[in-house]
Amino acid sequence: MMRLPPVAVAVVAAALAWPTAALAHGLAGRQDLPIPRWLFVWGATVVLIISFVGLAALWRSPRLEDQGLRRVTPIPRGLEAMCGAVGVAVFCLLIYAGLAGSQRPTENVVPTFVYVLLWVGVPVLSVLLGDVFRPFNPWRAIGRGAGWLGGRLTGGAAPAPLSYPERLGRWPAVIGLVAFGWLELVAANGDDPGTMAVLALVYAAVQLVGMTLFGVERWLERGDAFAVYFGLFARMAPVTVDDGHLALRRPLSGLSQERWLPGTVALLCAAIGITAFDGVAEGPVWLGAVEPLQTIFESLGFAVDTALTLTFTIGLIVSVLLVGVVYWIGVLGMRTAAGAASARRLGRSFVVSLVPIAFAYVLAHYFSLLVFQGQATAYLASDPLGTGANLFGTASATIDYTVLSANAVWYFQVGALVIGHAAGLAVAHDRALVLFGDGRQATRSQTWMLAVMIAFTCLGLFLLSAGNA
């Protein structure tokens, strides 16, 4: 029999000072139950076995280098401009809703749109359908439109963009990504619609300045956190655009086409670290660390709220840095095993194997949020400002919490991490074959990268497990 009393009386008087509930979870009224310990153990076993069987039995010559592109159909001209217009319109509506609408996160469309549909929904769509964000990206549309108009007005005499400082690479996007993670997970008013609208305007302004200075595509590939982040996930998709045509390719093969730019490693480490911190922040390890840290900040003269925010900021940064350290340990180890290649080159070559794992983290942590809170789209679309409107007659819709059972969520979470791990393994294996040519040396070098991936996947499982809750 379960060690639970028959009635609802298992009241745990939490000995820990709970951080304000407003942090991070103001939006969703439901959280996932921790996965049971047995499932954690089993999931970790699956990961280990897949890893070693994979090393022994995977292919002997690179298979993901060649995308096997097949063009399917030409994309109608003008479609991109139309998507861009939709993107700009939606952006403007959201800004209006954020500024003019209800300031309660659950009543206003903005927090659900940004933190659920955009932040979780778009990665899922990107992995399935390719870079869906690109045509709708509002700043890209504005930038291209302005460029086109400028060209017309000046008769092609518009000044050429400045040359982008290549050493800067993707670091602007890294900063953008961490800032977004901070807003979502740390900032006390991060789901306040008005604040979000203002910050979205600031973000858009930065993008427009960047595109004006350095050119639209150059900036999007390096400076726009969302374009870079979603674009990396889209590299895994079996669908892409090839010279004005919709094309099919082998899943994951797009990752081999990823051109390395400075800051890519940091970007992926930040992506994993941010999601991991969201998991950590719910567990006892972190909750135990909050109070002493907060006390230190308070004794330094900070107000209670500020001290808490500083504490969580440190947690987020440490989480991102730890992910980076683990990755570089793997790369250094690989170098000792493989000899020749420099650590820097290895780090660059293998970083794409983190993309599937980063996506698995997103799925495992946010899938139920997407399924449940995503349903809120129905009533928020009809009443975006929270003013009692009913534009599409769906304002009285509710969230059906029975569509997924807790068991289904658990299996999905473990399945996502395991499959993400297997995909990362396949990508790393292929990279190793390309880099080292010889299968034996590839395997030897890869053992280190595999250890890194096992560490990340098992950490992901641990964050979901009962041991953490």
Footprint of another protein (CB under 8 A)? 1-18, 21-22, 25, 29-39, 41-42, 45-46, 49-50, 53, 56-57, 368, 398-399, 401-402, 405-407, 466-467, 469
Q: Which one, 16 or 79, has the nearer CB to another protein?
A: 16
CB closer to another protein out of 129 and 408: 408
DSSP-derived secondary structure for 409-433 = HHHHHHHHHHHHHHHHHHHHHHHHH
- Of 262 and 467, nearer to another protein (C-beta) is 467
CA 45 to CA 219: how far, in whole Å?
43
Alpha-carbon distances, residue 43 vs 3, 326, 359, 449 (angstroms): 24, 21, 17, 19
Amino acid residing at 53: V
> What is the nearest approach in angstroms of another protein to the Cβ of residue 216?
42
Q: Is 463 helix (H, G, I), strand (E, B) or coil?
A: helix
Nearest alpha carbon to residue 431 among 326, 336, 341: 341
Is residue 281 within 8 A of residue 188, CB to CB? The reply is no
Candidates 182, 200, 191; CA nearest to 21 is 191
- Closest CB 53 distance from another protein, rounded Å: 5
Nearer to another protein, 192 or 224 (CB): 192
- Report CA-CA distances (Å) from 311 to 269, 271, 287, 290, 306: 20, 20, 11, 7, 8
| 156 φ/ψ sector (left φ>0, alpha ψ -120 to 50, else beta) | left
Closest distance to another protein from the beta carbon of 330 (Å): 24
Residue 317 CB, shortest distance to another protein, in Å, is: 26
Q: Which of 359, 131, 171, 365 is CA-nearest to residue 265? A: 171
Q: How far is the CB of 15 from another protein (least distance, A)?
A: 8
Nearer to another protein by Cβ, of 246 and 466: the residue is: 466
236 Cβ neighbours under 8 A, 6+ residues apart: 127, 251, 252, 254, 255, 355, 356, 359, 423
Which of 10/160 has CB closer to another protein?
Answer: 10
- For the CB of residue 368, give the shortest distance to another protein in the complex, in Å: 8
Q: How far is the CB of 391 from another protein (least distance, A)?
A: 22
Look at residue 171 and give its three-state secondary structure.
helix
Of the two residues 36 and 147, which places its CB atom closer to another protein in the complex?
A: 36
Considering beta carbons, is residue 207 or 368 the nearer one to another protein? 368
Min dist CB 367 to another protein, Å, is 13
Structure tokens at 62: 């690179």
Choose between 22 and 289: whose C-beta lies nearer to another protein: 22
In degrees, rounded to 5, the angle at the alpha carbon of residue 98 between the alpha carbons of residues 215 and 127 is 55
Instruction: Determine contact, residues 370/376, Cβ cutoff 8 Å.
Output: no
Tell me the C-alpha distance between 185 and 188, whole Å.
8
Q: Decide: residue 304, CB within 10 A, 0-12 exposed, 13-18 middle, 19+ buried.
A: exposed
Residue 332 CB contacts under 8 Å (≥ 6 apart), including other chains: 343
Count of alpha carbons within 13 angstroms of residue 233, beta-carbon side: 30
Return the number of the residue (212 or 447) whose C-beta is nearest another protein: 447
d(CA 363, CA 355): 12
User: In angstroms, what is the minimal distance from the CB of 164 to another protein?
Assistant: 45
Q: In what order do the strands lie in the sheet with 245-248?
A: 70-74, 245-248, 239-242
**Of 9 and 157, which CB lies nearer to another protein in the complex structure?**
9
Which C-beta is closer to another protein: that of 1 or that of 157?
1
